[in-house]
Amino acid sequence: MMTRLLILGGTQEAAQLVTQLAPLPGLEVIASLAGRLRQPATPAGTLRVGGFGGIEGLRTYLREQQIALLIDATHPFASQISFYAASAAHACGLPHLMLVRPAWVPVAGDRWLAVDSLAAAAAQLPGLAQRVFLTIGRQEVATFAPLTELWFLMRMIDPPTPTIPMPPGLLLLERGPFTLAHERQLLHTHAIEAIVSKNSGGPATDAKLHAARELGLPVLMVQRPALPESVHVTDVAQAYQWVVTQLARA
């Protein structure tokens, strides 16, 4: 009998984990993506796209699809689905694991200003910089729209919808990973004076932080939201081993 594993994805780690787990005998891997990206990195295995309809919808899905194991490998800032997953797994009596990449930490030479939200970052920008590099994705860029006296370089994978208010500046559509040389040139070309970033962690987009350190630029770093208390690991290898252990117990 096949053991069905649901992986809530959207991160590179999730896609890597699905690819590694798919060949395991006796295991059926289902990868779930929220559907926010127009051209997501499609993992191996069975793929579903879209939300579940809240926590009740997720519980229903887990029961109807006879899911035996649940891994939450969503983005560190997707805290709502993480709380839903923890609650639904508990309600259904499922083994549940969180795969959470480590946060970035400042090192010598960094000029980080920790903020609790993007709104707090926007409030600090006037007087700090005139030309700002926004690396926050497309969903919350409207937070900076009232800052019409500043100029923004806004990098994201997909463009925002036409109805979203945008601050003045340039929209740049790019997908990481990015090299240090690329980020250094980008900051030079656009005369960037400060960076706004979420503390997403991971190596795909950390080159901008190295470039900012070289240039002595301030970085407004949005801290991660709280996540549910649960068994968690920090890399794909640990998550893979957790699944192997669970299969051995089945």
CA distance 132 to 230: 37
Q: What is the DSSP string of 171-207?
A: EEE--S---HHHHHHHHHHTT--EEEEE---SSSSTH
Ramachandran region, residue 194 (left: φ > 0; alpha: ψ -120 to 50; beta: rest): beta
Is 117 in the same domain as 202?
A: yes
What is the structure's pLDDT at 43? 55
Residue located via tokens 């709502």: 80
Enclosing domain of residue 212? 111-222
Is 176 in the same domain as 233?
A: no
Is 218 in the same domain as 115?
A: yes
Any idea what the CATH number is for the domain that residue 242 is in? Answer: 3.40.50.720
Per-residue pLDDT of the chain (250 residues; tens, 9 = 90+): 789 999 998 888 998 999 999 999 999 999 998 755 455 455 566 777 777 888 899 999 999 999 999 999 999 998 999 999 999 999 999 999 999 999 999 999 999 999 999 999 999 999 999 999 999 988 899 999 999 999 999 999 889 988 999 999 999 999 889 999 999 999 999 999 999 999 999 888 899 999 999 999 999 999 999 999 889 999 999 999 999 999 998 7
Is 87 in the same domain as 174?
A: no
**Neighbour-count burial of 33, counting CB atoms closer than 10 A to its CB (0-12 exposed, 13-18 middle, 19+ buried):** buried
Q: Contact 133/196 with Cβ under 8 angstroms?
A: yes
Is 137 in the same domain as 204?
A: yes
Structure tokens at 88: 């639904």
Is 147 in the same domain as 185?
A: yes
Is 241 in the same domain as 207?
A: no
Domain tally for the chain? 2
What is the structure's pLDDT at 37? 46
Is 80 in the same domain as 180?
A: no
Rounded to 5, what percent of the chain is helix, strand, coil?
Answer: 30, 25, 45
Question: What is residue 14's three-state secondary structure?
Answer: helix
- Nearest alpha carbon to residue 36 among 165, 166, 157: 157
Is 41 in the same domain as 97?
A: yes
Is 197 in the same domain as 117?
A: yes
What is the structure's pLDDT at 203? 86
